[in-house]
Structure 1
């Protein structure tokens, strides 16, 4: 299998399947919850769509040693939350409905924002080795076909066959996790001897971006007086991005595997920090005071 066939056919097709699986978990109500808790949705969306890309530019300029790695970190920051953020939110006992809503909204908006933010990243960081004409229009159309369209199809399947969707969704989620591991192996093999230096450099930057944005999301949520469950969801949604999508854009549209390195490293980082959040939340819930109850016979 040639590199071109993998990046132009296999990778987009697999991402289509993964996004179809995400659609199986969504329904129209997930896009209409803004009216029920607008403050939480607006704060989470602002964090994902504005603060995260800004932080990506700042951390890339500060820590990334090469133009390709800097562009890759910004690309990662421009991507929406994925199904992993929903899973971590569920395990951390956060507000799952809010998490799914934020994932749905960001997935819709990033069809337009990813090409624009990536173009700005090239203008900011590109050198002679990374010069490329970013196909903004083509990328928008392809992102619609590979991300939003399969989500719509998945939602339609769930609306017509909810039991089948519930049976199929976890199987596609497992496929997505295994495929992400495969992608990391492929990227590592392509980079050869340079991979150790690239991973070391990217590891620090991705960890800083991940931890900083999780902390910023949590502090902002508490500052706006959101409850613990909503704060957990916003912390995770801002901190965990769709790294598979970032890898696809880097290899299929930008044809530069080095740009995919930050997303590949981040794929490991986000599970580590996600596990920390899950552990802290379970500790918080365990230590929380139990509500007073009244015994059936009237004794307090």
Structure 2
């Protein structure tokens, strides 16, 4: 009974709470920006929604991952960028406004695209047929725990702006604490799977993270975007909402073993993000060298 209450009620409510916090940081101008600067949005959308799942599928085949790990990696790739990507964009001095817009857009679009990717992954990789994936149930679940809370948060932000700005930081902190608790829970519950398959899962997650970031940079070059926008696309495509992936595995599919990939990815993505922030700092220092004053005689 306790496990059922946690997986069926507490975990979805917690994610909805986090999505509400994301909504508190959004305004209508974030979506107006989609029309004002369409090329970065289109590039990020293609990389996030189309290229990333294809990349994950290719890694599953090339690395010959187990069915559970393959499905977990595909679920992760089907998820949008999370609030972590906004924090990393800020640290890397990327285009934060673009990052927020892409996170919001991908969070909305994934409600409609993720169920199809998940259904394909389960039907393709699963060795048993006792796992029923309902498109309507997954879509409805994502709608309730992601899209509706985001919209409600935006409404609150519009009418109670001062309060929203003040408390939004606490929602970010809760998201981090909740993610750490989720990782801990998955590691404890699935420690046998992790110990047996850690090497392949770690390598797969690391490759997905690093190659996805490269995809963001290449996409930006194809669309002839600025250096800031290039960094932003690398971050948005490379950092996934692992919390949502774990929630889908545990609460919607009732398969905690699938959540192992998201748990490991939650650690590897910070390694990739750290390298990107260091690169961004080095690149920015070279682009803006300190000019020493010269004496005039």
TM-score range, shorter chain: over 0.9
Match of 1:134 in 2: 133
- SS of the residue corresponding to residue 219 of structure 1 reads helix
- Root mean square deviation, CA, Å: 1.8
Match of 1:253 in 2: 252
Contact 2:55 2:208 in 1 (8 A): yes
Q: CA deviation at 1:271?
A: 1.1
Q: CA deviation at 1:6?
A: 1.2
Q: CA deviation at 1:162?
A: 1.5
Cα distance in 1 for partners of 2:152, 2:288 equals 44
- TM-score in terms of structure 1 length: 0.94
Match of 2:69 in 1: 69
User: Are 1:60 and 2:22 an aligned pair?
Assistant: no
Match of 1:212 in 2: 211
Match of 2:30 in 1: 30
Cα distance in 2 for partners of 1:281, 1:139 equals 37
Match of 2:85 in 1: 85
User: Are 1:20 and 2:20 an aligned pair?
Assistant: yes
Equivalent residues in 2 for 1:196-207 (5 A)? 196-207=195-206
Contact 2:193 2:257 in 1 (8 A): no
Contact 1:199 1:261 in 2 (8 A): no
> 1:33–1:76: structure 2 CA closer, same or farther, 3 Å change rule?
same
Contact 1:25 1:155 in 2 (8 A): yes
Query: Structure 1, residues 210-230: CA drift from partner, whole Å, max 9, x if none?
Result: 101101111221232211111
Contact 2:141 2:252 in 1 (8 A): no
Cα distance in 1 for partners of 2:74, 2:167 equals 33
User: Are 1:182 and 2:181 an aligned pair?
Assistant: yes
Q: CA deviation at 1:191?
A: 1.3
Q: CA deviation at 1:124?
A: 1.2
Contact 1:99 1:233 in 2 (8 A): yes
> 1:191–1:289: structure 2 CA closer, same or farther, 3 Å change rule?
closer
Q: CA deviation at 1:73?
A: 0.1
Match of 2:154 in 1: 155
Contact 2:82 2:239 in 1 (8 A): yes
Cα distance in 1 for partners of 2:124, 2:138 equals 19
Query: Structure 1, residues 45-97: CA drift from partner, whole Å, max 9, x if none?
Result: 01101000111111122225310110000000000011011111111000011
Cα distance in 2 for partners of 1:77, 1:249 equals 12
Q: CA deviation at 1:192?
A: 3.3
Gapped runs of 5+ residues in structure 1? none
Match of 2:192 in 1: 193
Contact 1:198 1:261 in 2 (8 A): no
Match of 1:108 in 2: 108
Gapped runs of 5+ residues in structure 2? none
Q: CA deviation at 1:294?
A: 11
Cα distance in 1 for partners of 2:35, 2:290 equals 30
Query: Structure 1, residues 99-141: CA drift from partner, whole Å, max 9, x if none?
Result: 111111111111011111000101211102x741101101111
